[in-house]
Amino acid sequence: MRRGLNFVLAIAAGSLLLVACVSDGGGPPESANTSRGPIEVWLSTNPEEVAWGEQVVASWNSQHPDEQVTAQQIPAGKTSEEVIYSSIVAGNAPCVVLNTAPSAVPQFQQAGGLVALDTFPDGDSYVEARTGKEIADQYRSPDGRFYQIPWKVNPVMIFYNKKLFAEAGLDPENPPLATWDEFLQTSRTLVQKGVAPAAIWPAPSSEFFQSWFDYYPLSAARTQQQLVEDGKATFDSPDGLAVGQFWRTMYAEKLAPQEKYNGDSFKDGAAAMASAGPWAIPVYKDTIDWGVVPIPTEDGKPADQIYTFSDEKSLAIYYACEHRLTAWEFVKSATTEAADGELLELTGQMPMRQNLPEVYASYFATHPDYEQFADQAGRVVEVPNVQNSTEIWQTFRNAWTSAVVFDDEPIDKAFADAAARANELLAEE
Amino acid sequence: MSTPLPISSEGTPAQDLEVETPPRNRFRVFVLALGAVLFIFPFYYMVIGSFQAVADKSLSGILPHPGNMTVTNYQEINDAIDAPRALLNSSIFTIGVLLFTVLFGLLAGYALAVMHFRGRATVLSFVLLVLVIPFQLLQIPLYILIVRSYGLGDTYIGMILPFAINSTAVFIFRQYFLQLPRELFEAARIDGASELTTMLRVAIPLARPAILNAVLLTFIGPWNEFLWPFLVTKQQDMQPFAVALANYMNNVAGRATNPDGANMAGGVLLAIPPVVLFLIFQKHFTSANIGSGVKG
Amino acid sequence: MTLVRGAKSGSTIEGGLDVEKERWLGRQPIGLLFILPYVIFLIGIFVYPLVVQFVISFYDFFFAAPGADVDRPWVGLQNYADVLQDPTFQRSLFNVFVFMIINVPATVFLSLVLAYALNTKIRGLWFFRGAYYAPYVTASVAIVTVWLFMFGVTGIVNTVLGPLAPDPSWLINSYWAMPMIAIFVTWKQLGFFILLYLAALQNVPNEVYEAADVDGAGAVRKFRSVTVPGVRPATTLVIILATITGMNLFTEPYLLTNGGGPNGASVTPVFYMYQKGVEQGQAGYAAAIGMILLAITLLIALVQRRLLERD
CATH number of the domain bearing residue C150: 1.10.3720.10
Q: Which residue of C has its CA nearest to A397?
A: C263
- State which H helix or E strand residue A178 sits in: none
One domain, residues B60 and B151: no
Q: Is residue C67 part of a domain?
A: no
- The predicted model gives B273-280 an average pLDDT of 81
Query: Same domain for A416 and A283?
Result: yes
Same domain membership, residue A315 and residue A303: no
What are the distances in angstroms from CA B108 to CA A202, B102, B175? 54, 10, 12
Asked if pLDDT for residue B93 goes beyond 80, the answer is: yes
Assess whether A186 and A279 both reside in one domain.
yes
The torsion angles phi and psi of A381, rounded to 5 degrees, stand at -115, 135
> Domain check: are B128 and B185 in the same one?
yes
Tell me which of A121-135, C37-51, C215-229, C259-273 is least confident.
Answer: C215-229
Task: Assess whether A331 and A260 both reside in one domain.
Answer: no
**Pair C225, C101 in one domain:** yes
Examine the pLDDT at C307 and tell me if it is beyond 60. yes
Q: Which of A102-111, A221-230, B230-239 has the lowest mean pLDDT?
A: B230-239
Return d(Cα B162, Cα B44) in angstroms, integer: 34
Residues C20, C150 share a domain: no
Between A39 and A80, the more confident residue is: A39
At B40, is the pLDDT very low, low, confident or very high (cuts 50, 70, 90)?
confident
Same domain, B118 and B200: yes
Is residue C8 scored above 60 in pLDDT?
no
- Whether B200 and B108 share a structural domain: yes
Section A141-151 average pLDDT: 93
CA angle B246, B252, B258 (to 5 degrees): 100
Interface of B with A in 84-143 (CB under 8 A): 119, 121-122, 125-126, 140, 143
Q: Could you tell me the pLDDT band of residue A82, with boundaries at 50, 70 and 90?
A: confident
Task: Give the 3-state secondary structure of B178-206.
Answer: HHCCHHHHHHHHHCCCCHHHHHHHHHHHH
Whether A192 contacts chain B with CB within 8 A? no
Question: Which amino acid, A248?
Answer: R
Asked if residue A5 is part of any domain, the answer here is no
Closest in A12, A110, A208 to C62, CB measured: A110
Tell me what the mean pLDDT of segment A321-338 comes to.
93
Is C73 within a domain?
no
Q: Mark whether A272 and A403 lie in a shared domain.
A: yes
Q: Domain check: are B138 and B177 in the same one?
A: yes
Mean pLDDT of B50-79: 79
Q: What is the rounded CA–CA span in Å between residue A362 and residue A130?
A: 19
Asked whether residue A93 falls in the same domain as residue A229, the answer is: no
Answer whether B149 touches A (CB < 8 Å): yes
For residues A77 and A122, state if they share a domain: yes
Q: Out of A314-323, B14-23, B68-77, which region has the weakest mean confidence (pLDDT)?
A: B14-23
The number of residues making up chain B comes to 296
Residue C75 counted as domain residue? no
Mean pLDDT of A412-421: 95
Residue C13: pLDDT band with limits 50, 70, 90: very low
Is A7 at the interface with chain B, CB within 8 A? Answer: yes
In a domain, C253, yes or no: yes
Domain containing B225 equals: 89-239+271-286
Name A308's bridge partners. Answer: A380
> How many domains does chain C fold into?
2
Evaluate whether residue B79 is within a structural domain. Answer: no
CB atoms within 10 A of CB B193: 18
Q: Is residue A428 very low, low, confident or very high in pLDDT (cuts 50, 70, 90)?
A: confident
Q: Compare all CA atoms of chain C with the CA of B108 and give the residue at the minimum distance.
A: C35
Does B206 lie in the same domain as B120?
A: yes
Q: Could you tell me if B132 and B275 lie in one domain?
A: yes
- Is A177 within the bounds of a domain? yes
Total domains in the fold of chain A: 2
Residue C200's pLDDT is what? 80
**Residue C169 is nearest to which of A28, A259, A408, comparing CB atoms?**
A259
Of A88, A391, A408, the CB nearest to C174: A408
Q: Which of C46, C190, C202 is closest, CB to CB, to B133?
A: C46
Contacts of B105 in chain C (CB under 8 A): 38
Residue C65 belongs to some domain of the structure:
no
Coarse DSSP helix, strand, coil percentages of chain A, rounded to the nearest 5 percent: 50, 15, 35
C146 contacts in chain B (CB < 8 Å): 42-43, 45-46, 49, 264, 267
Pair (C285, C153) in one structural domain? yes
Number of domains in chain B: 2
Residues from chain B that touch A76, judged by Cβ atoms under 8 A, are 251
Instruction: State the pLDDT at residue B20.
Output: 46
Tell me what pLDDT residue B52 has.
84
Residues of B in contact with C277 (CB under 8 A): 136, 140
Both A161 and A260 in one domain: the answer is yes
C182: confidence class by pLDDT, cuts 50, 70, 90? very high
**C66·A27 Cβ contact <8 A:** yes
Chain A partners of B236 at a C-beta cutoff of 8 Å? 72-73
Q: What integer best gives the mean pLDDT of chain B? A: 78
Minimal CA separation from B231 to chain A, in Å: 6
In this structure, the dihedral spanned by the alpha carbons of residues A130, A135, A141 and A143, taken in order and rounded to 10 degrees, is: 90
One domain, residues A198 and A90: no
Q: Could you tell me if B183 and B143 lie in one domain?
A: yes
Q: Would you state the pLDDT for residue A213? A: 95
One domain, residues A207 and A339: no
Asked whether residue A250 carries a pLDDT value surpassing 90, the answer given is: yes
- DSSP code for A318: B
Of A3, A22, A87, the CB nearest to B149: A22
CATH of the domain at A183: 3.40.190.10
Q: Does A63 touch chain B (CB under 8 A)?
A: no
Compute the average pLDDT of residues B238-243.
Answer: 88
Residues B37, B66, single domain; the answer is yes
Residues B112, B148 within the same domain: yes
Q: What is the pLDDT of residues C26-55, one digit of tens each?
A: 677 787 888 889 999 998 899 999 999 999
Q: DSSP letters along A196-238, please? A: -SEEE----S--TTGGGGTHHHHHHHHH---SEETTEESSSSH
* B253 contact residues in A (CB cutoff 8 A): 263
pTM value is 0.83
pLDDT for C158:
82
Given an 8 Å threshold on Cβ–Cβ distance, is C66 in contact with A18?
Answer: no
Instruction: Tell whether A369 and A240 lie within a shared domain.
Output: no
Contact yes or no for A45/A75 (Cβ under 8 A): yes
**Shared domain check, C93 and C239:** yes
Give me the residue from B16, B246, B294 closest to C233, CB to CB. B294
Do A59 and A82 reside in the same domain of the chain? Answer: yes
Report the alpha-carbon distance of residue B45 to residue B259 in Å, rounded: 15
Q: What percent of chain A has pLDDT over 70?
A: 93
Please report which confidence band the pLDDT of residue C119 belongs to, taking 50, 70 and 90 as the band edges: confident
DSSP C13: P
CA distance A153 to A349: 6
Specify the higher pLDDT residue, B184 or A6.
Answer: B184
**Residue B130 forms contact with C (CB below 8 Å):** yes
Compute the count of residue pairs across chains B and C with CB atoms less than 8 Å apart.
Answer: 332
pLDDT score, position B284 = 62
Q: What gap in Å lies between CA A311 and CA A334, rounded to an integer? A: 20
Examine the domain organization and report whether C49 and C94 are in the same domain. Answer: no
Same domain, C118 and C36: no
- The mean per-residue pLDDT over the stretch A336-354 comes to 91
Interchain CB contact of C63 with A (< 8 Å): yes
Domain contains A19: no
CA distances from A205 to A219, A394, B25, B49, B255 (A): 19, 11, 49, 25, 20
Q: For residue A381, what pLDDT is reported?
A: 92
Percent of chain B having pLDDT more than 90? 11
Chain-chain contact of B121 with A45 (C-beta, under 8 angstroms):
no
Residue A197 lies in a domain: yes
Point out the least confidently predicted range of A18-27, A200-209, A308-317, A420-429: A18-27
Mean pLDDT (whole number) for B85-108: 92
- C33 contact partners, CB below 8 Å, separation of at least 6: none
Nearest chain A CA: its distance from C132 CA (Å): 28
Q: Please check whether residue C131 lies inside any domain of the structure.
A: yes
Residue C92's pLDDT band (cuts 50, 70, 90): very high
Residue A190 is predicted with a pLDDT of: 94
pLDDT digits (tens, 9 = 90+) for B167-184: 888 888 888 888 777 887
> Could you tell me the residue range of the domain that residue C169 belongs to?
81-308
Between A16 and A262, name the one with better pLDDT. A262
A382: enclosing H helix or E strand:
none
In this prediction, residue A18 carries a pLDDT of 60
B142 and B64 share one domain: no
Closest residue of chain B to A280, computed from CA coordinates? B255
Q: Is 0.85 exceeded by the ipTM?
A: no
Among A86, A89, A393, A424, most C C-beta atoms within 10 A, so best to mutate, is A89
Chains that touch C (3 or more CB pairs under 8 A): A, B
pLDDT of residue C33: 84
Any domain includes B275 = yes
Subunit contact A77:B250, Cβ cutoff 8 A:
yes
Containing domain of residue A319, as a range? 30-153+311-381
Q: How confident is the model at residue A416 (pLDDT cuts 50, 70, 90)?
A: very high
> Which has more confidence, C6 or B61?
B61
Both B179 and B60 in a single domain? no
Residue of A nearest to B139 (CA): A86
Q: Residue B247: its chain A contacts at CB < 8 A? A: 45, 75
Predicted confidence at residue A6, as pLDDT, reads 58
| pLDDT-wise least confident of A100-114, A123-137, A375-389, B258-272 | B258-272
Which residues in chain C touch residue A15, judged by CB atoms under 8 angstroms apart? 43, 47-48, 51
Q: What is the pLDDT of residue B14?
A: 40
Residues of C in contact with B275 (CB under 8 A): 130, 134, 137-138
* 3-class secondary structure per residue, A109-138: HHCCCECCHHHCCCHHHHHHHHHCHHHHHC
In a domain, A12, yes or no: no
pLDDT band, residue B18 (cuts 50/70/90): very low
Asked if the structure places residue A106 within a domain, the reply is yes
Q: In whole angstroms, what separates CA C228 from the centre of its chain?
A: 22
Query: Is residue B214 assigned to a domain?
Result: yes
